[in-house]
């Protein structure tokens, strides 16, 4: 009975607050009451920060990934299933892997990746041969699928789990720092634009 009594008291207090807003504060009070949850939502920093968090379920399909790779004449064409499955396995939305692949090497059609088969142009790592030392050294992957898998492991184990960098804005300053001659703001904008474009179902960025 005590619980019921307190519930009734609480409801009565809520009704009194509503009555005061209507009779004393007028329309402005009603507007405040209606829009308060919206204001809280817009002001929430966590919502804004997580807008481009790499962790999450796939937001693009295998078929769509293959369409993108084919449209850009990638040498990794047809490997959409591998890119997708690695994302599911690691909990990283594969749309981000696709965006990094495009930004780093135009899907393997330009630069170092044509030789190393690396999605993200990774530097030397312990479990793969180190090549092109005269250019700073790069990890030589065994295949495009191998390159995909290594990129996902890198992002999950190092950036997310160890450094707690989850969003694109958090990852890029470490992944492609300005001190190495990169334009961090442009890189972030390019990744986010590609992600938005593909999530709308459009192939061409």
Rg (CA), the chain: 24
The predicted model scores a pTM of 0.76
Long-range CB contacts for residues 63-67, cutoff 8 Å, separation at least 24: 64/198, 64/201, 64/203, 65/94, 65/98, 67/203
pLDDT tier, 51 (very low <50, low <70, confident <90, very high otherwise) = confident
Characterise 61 by phi-psi region: left (phi > 0), alpha (psi -120 to 50), beta (else).
beta
pLDDT at 40: 31
> Does the domain at residues 62-199 carry the CATH identifier 1.10.150.20?
no
The pLDDT tens digits of the residues spanning 67-112 come to 999 999 999 999 999 999 999 999 999 999 999 999 999 999 999 9
pLDDT tier, 15 (very low <50, low <70, confident <90, very high otherwise) = low
* Higher per-residue confidence, 21 vs 150: 150
pLDDT at 45: 40
Task: Say whether pLDDT at 62 is over 70.
Answer: yes
What is d(CA 191, CA 95) in angstroms, rounded to the nearest whole number? 10
């Amino acid at each position: 009975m005590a619980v019921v009594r307190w519930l009734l008291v609480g409801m009565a207090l809520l009704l009194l607050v509503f009555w005061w807003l209507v009779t004393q504060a007028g329309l402005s009070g009603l507007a405040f009451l209606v829009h308060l949850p919206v204001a809280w939502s817009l002001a929430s920093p966590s919502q804004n920060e997580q807008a481009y968090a790499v962790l999450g379920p796939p937001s693009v399909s295998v078929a769509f990934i293959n369409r993108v790779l084919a449209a850009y004449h990638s040498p990794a064409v047809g490997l959409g299933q591998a890119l997708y499955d690695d994302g599911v396995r690691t909990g990283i939305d594969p749309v981000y892997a696709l965006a990094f692949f495009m930004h780093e090497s135009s899907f393997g059609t330009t630069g170092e990746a044509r030789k190393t088969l690396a999605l993200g142009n990774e530097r030397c790592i312990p479990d793969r041969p180190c090549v092109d030392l005269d250019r700073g050294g790069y990890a030589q992957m065994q295949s495009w699928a191998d390159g995909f898998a290594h990129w996902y492991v890198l992002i999950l184990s190092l950036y997310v789990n160890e450094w707690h960098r989850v969003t694109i804005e958090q990852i890029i300053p470490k992944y492609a720092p300005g001190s190495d001659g990169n334009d961090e703001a442009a890189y972030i904008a390019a990744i986010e634009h590609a992600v938005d474009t593909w999530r709308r179902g459009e192939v061409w960025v």
